[in-house]
């Protein structure tokens, strides 16, 4: 059951949590579990998109996975270090849960989704090394195919950086990798992407 269908279970006091940070809500949840509804409402849509992007599963399966992720996070809420970012913490739980699900049920390489056109094009915006915007639908599909041929580790850091808008520090927390390693992975991913695009003679 999605959190949006549970709104009538929350008191007015619990619903009024927009002015509280994630970390404050975690502390309140430890004292009163109802506050966890605030965190669920805040992160449900984000996690649904993220789970869909890193798994390519259908909507119903993604919703089931997100509910399992929320349960797992709640069960471990006392272990959360409030000096860290809750967003990175729950994304790490989500990522690990999806990887575990994929290994158990698929028995093959994890599949990433690059179907968000606006976010996808941001990878080629003026703020990054790949400076020219993608022009036609045909080119978009060709580049998606090329990205899908990259190593999963490269796809994952690119997805977190460009589709999820995560900082290098956040990506490091989610993947449990040093920031320098994240930078190296992104640099190599973009290098290989450029080489493959050039090899395919795609004009951007």
Domain borders along the chain are 3-105, 117-199
pLDDT-derived band at 201 (thresholds 50, 70, 90) equals confident
pLDDT at 196 over 60: yes
- Higher local confidence (pLDDT), 124 or 171: 171
Domain 3-105 class, CATH top level = mainly alpha
pLDDT at 193 over 50: yes
pLDDT in tens, 137-163: 667 778 888 888 899 999 999 999 988
pLDDT at 14 over 80: no
Specify the pLDDT at position 11: 57
Q: For the residues 10-34, what does the mean pLDDT come to?
A: 83
Domain 117-199 class, CATH top level = mainly alpha
Specify the pLDDT at position 15: 62
Q: For the residues 9-28, what does the mean pLDDT come to?
A: 78
pLDDT in tens, 82-138: 778 999 999 999 999 999 998 888 766 678 887 765 666 666 554 444 444 445 566
- Look over the chain and give the mean of its residue pLDDT values, rounded to a whole number: 83
pTM of the shown model: 0.82
With beta carbons less than 8 A apart as the criterion, state whether 166 and 160 touch: yes
Q: For the residues 25-33, what does the mean pLDDT come to?
A: 93
């Amino acid at each position: 059951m999605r959190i949006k269908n549970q709104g009538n279970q929350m008191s007015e006091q619990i619903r009024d949590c927009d002015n509280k940070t994630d970390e404050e809500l975690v502390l309140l949840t430890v004292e009163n579990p109802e506050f966890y509804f605030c965190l669920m409402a805040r992160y449900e849509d984000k996690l649904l998109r993220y789970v869909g992007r890193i798994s390519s599963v259908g909507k119903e399966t993604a919703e089931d996975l997100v509910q399992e992720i929320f349960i797992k996070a709640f069960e471990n809420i006392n272990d959360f270090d409030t000096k860290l970012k809750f967003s990175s913490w729950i994304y790490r739980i989500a990522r690990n849960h999806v990887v575990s699900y994929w290994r158990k049920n698929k028995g093959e390489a994890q599949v990433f989704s690059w179907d968000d056109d606006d976010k996808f094009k941001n990878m080629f915006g003026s703020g990054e090394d790949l400076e020219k915007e993608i022009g036609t639908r045909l080119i978009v599909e060709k580049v998606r195919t090329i990205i899908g041929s990259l190593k999963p580790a490269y796809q994952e850091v690119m997805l977190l950086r460009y589709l999820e808008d995560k900082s290098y520090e956040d990506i490091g927390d989610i993947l449990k990798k040093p920031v320098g390693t994240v930078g190296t992975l992104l640099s190599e991913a973009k290098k290989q992407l450029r080489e493959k695009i050039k090899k395919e003679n795609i004009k951007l």
